[in-house]
């Protein structure tokens, strides 16, 4: 039995049912999408008829887990109050909307401390999350591991652990590990995947890990640039990425491609490539 849950990032502009159709057309059994324009802005109203149709199509396609991604410009660690308040309002609105599709995952970039220092950033992010998480929500909010570009918080596992430590409703919080980001953040998932996962387990805890962004990287380890590459085309390489998908601590997780492609069909080719490479390791 193939228990591989894999999909890619899809455009949300034509609605949920269309995303289920697109996912099925490329052999995916999950997908990621932006909740709204990735640069922020107002979200389109969710159409209940579209969601109803989506549930039917998802069921047919074997899609049970989906991952929504917050706009990447939100900064709950911002120094400016208006910027921070906008992030908090948007996160709260997204989490309300997520309940239209219960029990799913919502991923966000923790934020950037913009010169205030990582410690202040961690405090502000945790405070923002304490304002938006609700005890009755069914959505799990994921903090993404970052590449450490600029003043990004979350490139070190310790920083993610520190944020989670300060969250009251931490039962609703997990982590999404991005292979390009951790690699560029300085974690050697090519030479020592077991060591990196041990370190993650000691700091954050592997039970917090709920999703993987599967990307190759245009840069060498520790570059802190955050430049994704197609699978097998970068410095991480196909073998190491296949090993991530087959690792006993990870293989049950949903995997999401965020590789640079123009056409959805190209993700289909990558899914075939990874299915084959993973099968050889299992």
Q: Judged by CB under 5 A, which stretch of 17-25, 29-37, 157-165, 171-179 contacts Fe ion?
A: 171-179
Cα separation of 222 and 187, whole Å? 7
Q: Which of 178, 184, 226, 229 binds Fe ion (CB under 5 A)?
A: 178
Minimum CB separation of residue 258 from Zn ion in Å reads 7
> Which residues have a Cβ under 8 Å from the Cβ of 245 and sit 6 or more positions away?
4, 6, 212, 214, 251, 255, 274, 277, 278
229 is an interface residue for Fe ion by CB under 5 A: no
> In Å, how far are 159, 238, 272 from 276, measured between CA atoms?
35, 11, 6
Q: Which partner in Fe ion, Zn ion, none is near 213 (CB below 5 to 8 A by kind)?
A: Fe ion
Residues, the chain: 282
Closer to Zn ion at the Cβ: 53 or 227?
227
Site string for Fe ion, 196-225 (x = CB under 5 A): -----------------x------------
Among 217, 2, 196, 30, which Cα is nearest to 107's?
30
Cα separation of 83 and 146, whole Å? 20
Cα separation of 45 and 249, whole Å? 38
Listing DSSP states for 229-243 in one string gives E-TTSSSS-HHHHHH
94 is an interface residue for Zn ion by CB under 5 A: no
Minimum CB separation of residue 223 from Zn ion in Å reads 12
Radius of gyration (C-alpha) of the chain in whole angstroms: 18
Q: Which partner in Zn ion, Fe ion, none is near 270 (CB below 5 to 8 A by kind)?
A: none
Task: Compute the Cα dihedral for 117, 121, 123, 124 and give only its sign.
Answer: positive
226 is an interface residue for Zn ion by CB under 5 A: yes
| Interacting residues with Fe ion between 245 and 264 (CB under 5 A) | 258
Q: Judged by CB under 5 A, which stretch of 89-97, 174-182, 187-195, 203-211 contacts Fe ion?
A: 174-182
Q: Judged by CB under 5 A, which stretch of 53-61, 97-105, 139-147, 267-275 contacts Fe ion?
A: 139-147
* Contact positions vs Zn ion (CB under 5 A): 226
Site for Fe ion, rule CB under 5 A: 144, 178, 213, 258
């Amino acid at each position: 039995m193939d228990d591989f849950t894999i999909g890619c990032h899809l455009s949300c502009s034509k609605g949920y049912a269309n995303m289920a159709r697109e996912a099925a057309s490329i052999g995916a059994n999950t997908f990621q999408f932006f909740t709204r324009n990735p640069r922020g802005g107002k979200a389109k109203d969710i159409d209940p008829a579209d969601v109803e149709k989506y549930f039917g199509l998802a069921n047919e396609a074997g899609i049970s887990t989906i991952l929504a991604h917050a706009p990447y410009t939100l900064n709950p660690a911002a120094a400016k109050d208006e910027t921070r308040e906008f992030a908090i309002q948007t996160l709260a609105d997204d989490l309300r909307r997520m309940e239209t599709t219960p029990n799913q995952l919502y991923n966000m970039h923790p934020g950037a401390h913009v010169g205030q220092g990582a410690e202040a950033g961690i405090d502000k992010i945790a405070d923002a999350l304490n304002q938006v998480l609700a005890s009755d929500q069914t959505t799990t909010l994921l903090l993404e591991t970052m590449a450490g570009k600029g003043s990004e918080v979350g490139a070190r596992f310790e920083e993610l652990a520190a944020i989670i430590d300060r969250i009251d409703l931490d039962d609703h919080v997990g982590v999404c590990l991005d292979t390009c980001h951790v690699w560029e953040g300085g974690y050697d998932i090519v030479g020592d995947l077991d060591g990196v996962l041990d370190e993650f387990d000691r700091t954050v805890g592997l039970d917090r890990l709920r999703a993987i962004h599967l990307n190759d990287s245009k840069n060498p380890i520790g570059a802190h640039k955050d430049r994704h590459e197609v699978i097998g085309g970068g410095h991480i390489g196909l073998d190491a990425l296949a090993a991530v998908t087959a690792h006993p601590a990870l293989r049950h997780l949903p995997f999401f491609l965020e590789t640079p492609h123009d056409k959805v069909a190209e993700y289909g080719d990558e899914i075939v490539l990874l299915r084959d490479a993973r099968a050889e390791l299992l």
